[in-house]
Amino acid sequence: MSFTGTVKTEISKKRYERPEYLAELSGIFRNIADIDDTVKVTTENPMLARRIFDLMKEIYDIHANVTVRRGYNFTKNYIYIIEIRRQKEKILNDVGILHQGKYRSLPEPYLIDDDVLKKSYLRGVFLAVGSINDPKTSRYHLEFVINEKEYACFISDLLNYYTLNSKVLKRENKYMVYIKEAEKISDFLRLIDAMNAVLYYEEIRIYRDQKNNTNRLNNCEQANVDKIVETANTQIKDINLLEEAGLLDTLDDKLQNVCLYRKKYPEVSLQELSEIITLETGEKITKSGVHHRLKKIKDMALKLKK
């Protein structure tokens, strides 16, 4: 099962009060219900089908008709069709889709007038048209595919009420409401009460972040090593140039000593070179002292090149 399926299965099993169920049903029906003589929902998610069937029984004491058939796509998943014939208008009025005989694009305010109901409505929208990448994949991504721009903006605003930084993007003849930030996606899962999914998501996210940090540190360390080697090679070239010109013997003992150790230890940093010289010769010299002496060698080499 995909990570999206796992999340939907988890939240489909949650128990709430009647107002929360109505808000959730409103989010589901608004997005995937075909409304004619009946209210018909078609889904590949068996838990969503079961959820709708159970809520119709619990809230309205009616049995929705459920049809199962094999799909026509390559995976040939089962498709579940739930049809509600009885109390159609009452149900649509209760979930804020029908008002005084007219269909509403946006839900009735009473369905989302507090935190609990807002979260329930978003839970229903996710069950209907939401999808989320497994955090083990290369990118973090949560999206809702919406038919109308006005409604897409409404969903984005509802998400951003919780500072989730969602955005709207037109995709062919539909609109995608999406969230890219890992922490915000985790916040959304917590918001819709998918706590097992949150634990899994955070565990993978933290592991990936630590791995990325380790890689960055390794890359920085390698870059520093490369820089040290490059600098040392340049210094050795300067020393060799003076030696070929017969000028090395004209230098004072301190400069000759630094040249000797630079050629002897071409892979070490200036700090390490200063410690080696101090240890092997007994002459205390700091990193800046080594740098100062090699700078003199460099200046002499530049003059010689000119």
Domains of the chain, by residue range, sit at 8-193, 210-305
Q: What is the pLDDT of residue 114?
A: 93
pTM over 0.85: no
Q: What is the pLDDT of residue 156?
A: 95
Q: What is the pLDDT of residue 303?
A: 81
Q: What is the pLDDT of residue 299?
A: 85
Low-confidence ranges of the chain (pLDDT < 50): none
Q: What is the pLDDT of residue 76?
A: 67
Distance between CA atoms of residues 47 and 44, nearest Å: 9
Tens digit of each residue's pLDDT (9 = 90 or more) over 21-52 = 999 999 999 999 988 888 999 998 899 999 99
**What does the block give as tokens for 272?**
């390490």
E strands present in the chain: 33-35, 39-43, 65-70, 78-84, 98-99, 102-103, 130-132, 142-146, 167-171, 174-179
- For 255, the 3-state DSSP assignment is helix
Residue 101 DSSP symbol: T
The listed CATH number (2.60.120.10, 3.10.28.10, 3.40.47.10, 1.10.510.10) that belongs to domain 8-193: 3.10.28.10
Distance between CA atoms of residues 189 and 212, nearest Å: 23
Q: What is the pLDDT of residue 246?
A: 80
Distance between CA atoms of residues 90 and 5, nearest Å: 30
